[in-house]
Amino acid sequence: MEEKELLYEGKAKKVFRTEDPEILIVDYKDDATAFNGLKKGTIKGKGAINNRMTNYLMKLLEEKGVPTHLVEEIDDRKTAVKKVQIVPLEVIIRNKAAGSFSKRLGIPEGTELKCSTLEFSYKDDDLGDPLINSYMARAIGAATQEDIDTITEYAFKVNEVLKEFFKEIGIELIDFKLEFGKTTDGTIVLADEISPDTCRYWDIKTGAHLDKDTFRRDLGNPEGAYQEVFARMGFDAE
């Protein structure tokens, strides 16, 4: 599988066309951004960690019944994926209060929620990815009710699987963002990535942040945080 034309370059990844119109290549970058691109920097080795971690977790989720866009890992930074039309909704699952949720509702970070929550944000950087509900998503044509029902079912399944997986390696899954897409036949699959860029990971014993908040909040040593999660998953973080 060879990359041809560059189709898109985002904050964290490049996407290339291949000889197969149904397959794309994603190339993960070390670039780091926060606050919708207002803060920019680099986390050395992040691209390779996020690529390999995402692929590992997507394979795990496939085994548990969640379809994904994964085709095959090409090398440390590049992966072949199914071409999908992204559903313009960011899907956020929260298990504990943190980040914007705590700010909006005045709930201290780390507060245990009575149940896991699901939020939708409309994917639009210019608007700041505003929160919307399922009625609004249907009204603007972002998704159908069937899409929303399927995405909701998969998102909570992802939470169930990942919470247990990370618990076993001493990490608490606080919250995370997912994106879904539709293949050419209309099948909804999990897309984008699952990594310290898109998840909040806290050490179960110490509460230490092992995710992008180390960069976002200037907590120090983001490279070490990413490598720690990677190593606990059984990868060589060198």
188 Cβ neighbours under 8 A, 6+ residues apart: 67, 87, 147, 150, 151, 154, 180, 181, 182
State pLDDT tens for residues 33-90: 888 777 899 999 999 999 999 999 999 999 999 999 999 999 999 999 999 999 999 9
Give, in order, the Cα–Cα distances in Å from 43 to each of 30, 32, 88, 195, 211.
5, 6, 27, 13, 11
Q: What is the rounded distance in angstroms from the CA atom of residue 233 to the CA atom of residue 169? A: 7
Q: Which two tokens stand for residue 181?
A: 């897409």
Q: Residues of the chain with pLDDT > 90: what percent?
A: 93
Backbone φ and ψ for 149, nearest 5 degrees, come out as -65, -45
Look up the CATH superfamily of 85-222.
ATP-grasp fold, B domain (3.30.470.20)
Domain assignments of the chain as residue spans, ordered by start: 6-82, 85-222
- pTM assigned to the model: 0.94
Q: Which two tokens stand for residue 34?
A: 């926060």
CA 145 to chain centre: 23
State pLDDT tens for residues 128-176: 999 999 999 999 999 999 999 999 999 999 999 999 999 999 999 999 9
Q: Cβ–Cβ contacts within 10 Å for residue 127, how many?
A: 10
User: Which residue's entry shows tokens 């590992």?
Assistant: 56
Q: Which two tokens stand for residue 150?
A: 């399927």
Q: Is it true that domain 6-82 has CATH number 3.30.750.24?
A: no
pLDDT of residue 39: 86
Q: What is the rounded distance in angstroms from the CA atom of residue 117 to the CA atom of residue 236? A: 34
CA 227 to chain centre: 17
Q: Do 6-82 and 85-222 come out as alike in CATH topology?
A: no
Give, in order, the Cα–Cα distances in Å from 10 to each of 48, 57, 92, 119, 189.
16, 22, 20, 23, 20
User: Nearest-5° angle of CA 174, CA 177, CA 178?
Assistant: 130
DSSP 8-state symbol, 66: -
Provide the pLDDT confidence category of residue 237 given band limits of 50, 70 and 90: low
